A and B are shown apart, each in its own frame.
Chain A
Amino acid sequence: MRQYVVKRLVMAFAIVYFVVSLSFFMIRLMPGNPMSALEAQLQKQGGMSPAEIQQRVQAIYGLTPNEPLWRQYVSYIWNALHGDLGKSISDPSQSVVHVIANAAPWTIFIVGSALVLSFVTGLAVGALLAAFQNSAFSKSMTFVVSFLSAVPNYLVAIVLLYLLTDVHHYFPISGAYSVNIRPGFTFGFIGSAIYHAVLPVAAFVITSFGAWALSMKGTAVSVLGSEYVRAAESRGLSPRRVAQSYVGRNSLLPQVTGLALSVGFLFGGSVFIEFYFSYPGLGYYLINSINSRDYSVMMGCFLLITTSVVLANFFVDLVYPAIDPRIAKPGLARRAEEDKEAAEETVAVPGVGV
């Protein structure tokens, strides 16, 4: 078990390190070179001596442009480790960490609720589809479900906006809570936050529960046809017992693996959804900073989105042994890993590759 956890931890750190490095090289070396663009912009504004300009650039990116590249790289990583990601370009009084610390909880709130809701609905629908395989209900429902899972979530967001907020005012257009409510642990605030989260979460759930349902249906159907289920049935075990411990558990395994993969997808998709609902999460600030060329905030948001995904994956990896006990036992681990890998391939959550 310890080896398992250590391996996952090392991997998580490797990914975060990789992304921090990537964001450094992007600011420094990419074709657009945001850093020299900022220098040029400050020069054009005038009224600043070259030394002041250097200082300003350094304050914003945490990098000194005339240092050798490796020194810049080391200090960038060092700063990032200390939680210093520079300052916002459009508003230098704000630190990047401050901006993203306010945004992150909102993203985690809607992505988390969407994930739980679509996972639970998807598994329930999928189990129903498998149980009544050849009924008319199952056939038409399969059609609806695969249709919905092929629709991009941003289009659903636009349709919801159009139908329910802008033309008919059933739901709030923007924000995470009503402006006349003070944030706090009160019913009014929590109610308002939920009211504002309904449409963004709905856009997610509508487009992602279908993939769960289809994948659950697929595995459940093949588990139902397997010999150990037939053996359990002929031993006279109660249908309830067979459904829960034989069919249920074995159909659930691949879904949990899929859960880890879909976390990344949902965080990615939240960029679009937050932008359209003007929901003040990481994705919203990511797009805004791209549009205002605020590259330091942009990199900060990207870094935090990645870190959240990595953490969520790590968490799923920790939960996994509870569902598949073999994984943490050295002798059985290899076999379980193989099963898990095979499952990863069969769980086709659309858009995961994106």
Chain B
Amino acid sequence: MSFLSDFWRIARADRTGLAGAVVVGFYVLMAVFGPLVAHVSTVQDPMKAYLPPSWHHLLGTDSFGQDVMAQVIVGTRPIMEVGVLAASITVFVGVVVGLVSGYLAGTADTVIMRVTDVVLTVPGLPLILVISSVVRTSSPVVLALILSVTAWAGLARAVRSQALSLRTSDFIEAARLQGASLTNIVGRQLLPNVGPYVAINFLLAITGAMYAEVGLFLLGIAPVSGTNWGVMINTAMNQGALYTSKSMLYLFSPMAAIVILQVAFVYLTRVLDSLFNPRLRVQ
């Protein structure tokens, strides 16, 4: 409870952070309930292409005469789903590798860190493009795995250096003397101490994954099927939306949906950061 009251106290002072939290909450609701509320009609009617906004079509229609608003709402779930999945994998791998490496120290640590350095240097986005072009999948889980292929490395490095400083502390020493297992020390002793840091990185990992994910759909490298924001922009551009000013709402709506969500995540991260790091509040 004290967490929530702390959150409320800090968020009240930091209006943009509060706005970020509200917006993210709204998107989560949209991802969960959106497909129940909005339906993308399967009827295509070229006569209704690029209709201006009206009560019937709040954001107008696309080049096939379908409602843009409904597509934006329905498109939320696939993007959020893969983003959260990818972030979970990224954070899980990063934290486990980092904690184990930092706790073991010595040769094992050196080996693990050299591998991590290699992964950290390989440019992630081109690698993701290359892998997904060979794998060609529409499964959200596989897509999430591909998206997290290099993202864990930075987190692993950061978590490791925290684990390095924790491993000499008294309570870890005590646990070791009691003969606690590696899983116990890593999972029950070390993990809670890096918890806040991990929470923030989870949010950052979601934004990173969504950046790459939308890009994959946009370029048509992930199979273009179903309705999501990346697919919408991809279709819009293929339908020549760049060459007419009538298409502005159609092209810019999914883009706005992405940008607003990304920005909201950034502000939410910031408010969490000052919640977990009292030092930042003083500055």
Q: Does residue A52 face the partner (Cβ distance < 8 Å to B)? A: no
Q: A167-B245, A287-B219 are in contact. Are A32 and B123 (CB under 8 A)?
A: no
Q: A30-B134, A151-B259 are in contact. Are A18 and B118 (CB under 8 A)?
A: yes
Of the residues B130, B135, B157, B283, contact of A222 by C-beta under 8 Å: B283
**A7-34 to B contact mask, C-beta < 8 Å, 1/0:** 0000100110011000100100011101
**B1-35 to A contact mask, C-beta < 8 Å, 1/0:** 00000000000000010000000000000000000
Query: A354, B212: Cβ atoms under 8 Å?
Result: yes
B272 neighbours in A (Cβ, 8 Å): none
Least Cβ–Cβ distance between B135 and chain A, in angstroms: 6
A151 neighbours in B (Cβ, 8 Å): 259, 262-263
Interface residues of B in 204-222 (CB under 8 A from A): 204-205, 207-209, 211-212, 214-215, 218-221
Query: A351, B211: Cβ atoms under 8 Å?
Result: yes
Q: Does residue B153 face the partner (Cβ distance < 8 Å to A)? A: yes
Query: A353, B154: Cβ atoms under 8 Å?
Result: yes
Q: Does residue B251 face the partner (Cβ distance < 8 Å to A)? A: yes
Q: Which of B127, B135, B214 has the most CB of A within 10 A?
A: B127
Q: Does residue A319 face the partner (Cβ distance < 8 Å to B)? A: no
Q: Does residue A183 face the partner (Cβ distance < 8 Å to B)? A: no
**A144-183 to B contact mask, C-beta < 8 Å, 1/0:** 0011011110110011011000110000000000000000
Least Cβ–Cβ distance between A285 and chain B, in angstroms: 11
Of the residues B155, B208, B266, contact of A146 by C-beta under 8 Å: B266
Q: Does residue A65 face the partner (Cβ distance < 8 Å to B)? A: no
Query: A221, B283: Cβ atoms under 8 Å?
Result: yes
* CA gap between A30 and B134 in the complex, in Å: 7
A268 neighbours in B (Cβ, 8 Å): 123-126
Query: B211, A159: Cβ atoms under 8 Å?
Result: no
Q: Does residue A342 face the partner (Cβ distance < 8 Å to B)? A: yes
* CA gap between A24 and B265 in the complex, in Å: 38
* CA gap between A354 and B127 in the complex, in Å: 10
User: Which A residues have a C-beta under 8 Å from some C-beta of B?
Assistant: 11, 14-15, 18-19, 23, 26, 30-32, 34, 143, 146-147, 149-152, 154-155, 158-159, 161-162, 166-167, 221-222, 225, 261, 264-265, 267-269, 271-272, 275, 283, 286-287, 290-291, 295, 298-299, 301-302, 305-306, 309-310, 313, 341-342, 344-345, 348, 350-354
Further pairs besides A19-B122, A151-B259: 6, Cβ < 8 Å: A11-B118, A161-B242, A162-B242, A275-B219, A283-B126, A290-B221
Can you list 25 contacts pairing A with B, beta carbon distance less than 8 Å? A14-B114, A14-B118, A19-B122, A34-B134, A152-B215, A155-B259, A158-B237, A159-B252, A159-B255, A162-B242, A166-B242, A167-B242, A222-B283, A267-B123, A268-B123, A271-B125, A290-B133, A290-B221, A295-B134, A309-B121, A309-B123, A350-B208, A353-B90, A353-B150, A354-B212
